[in-house]
Structure 1
Amino acid sequence: VTGTYGKDIIRVRLMVNGKIVKPGFLDGNGQYRVPGARGWFTAKDKVEVVGYTQEGKEIHVKVPILTKKI
């Protein structure tokens, strides 16, 4: 899972169905990644990346689940 974050975000975490499952990493240039997320969710799950500000405010972003058709 990868994406971008704003200047107020100090950390991100992956949330699946309301439960934090993995921490993410910020690169300092506005990009984040949550490595090894494959297998933690399915197309039916509610997946979000939660960003946290210095003040502890949570910012939830829904993650679109892309599936490949064969």
Structure 2
Amino acid sequence: MMSSPSAGHGLDEKWFKSSYSTDDGPACVEVAVTPDTVRIRDSKRTEGPHLTVGAAPWSTFVSYAAHH
């Protein structure tokens, strides 16, 4: 899976959307990564609510999801 950046709300915030997501296709998630946290949002509702998790739990989730 590859990602491409999109505009964010913070000065250095870069959101990345999966290359599996298209502009005319189904909704996907985007993530913005900092050293300590990962912010997650719906790519079709970028102004909507965001979920913020720690970097370690996100890493565990991604590892688990990649193997299941």
Same fold per superposition (TM over 0.5): no
Instruction: Please report the TM-score for the alignment, with normalisation by the length of structure 1.
Output: 0.35
Q: Which has the higher strand share?
A: 1
Q: Which has the higher helix share?
A: 2
Instruction: Please report the TM-score for the alignment, with normalisation by the length of structure 2.
Output: 0.36
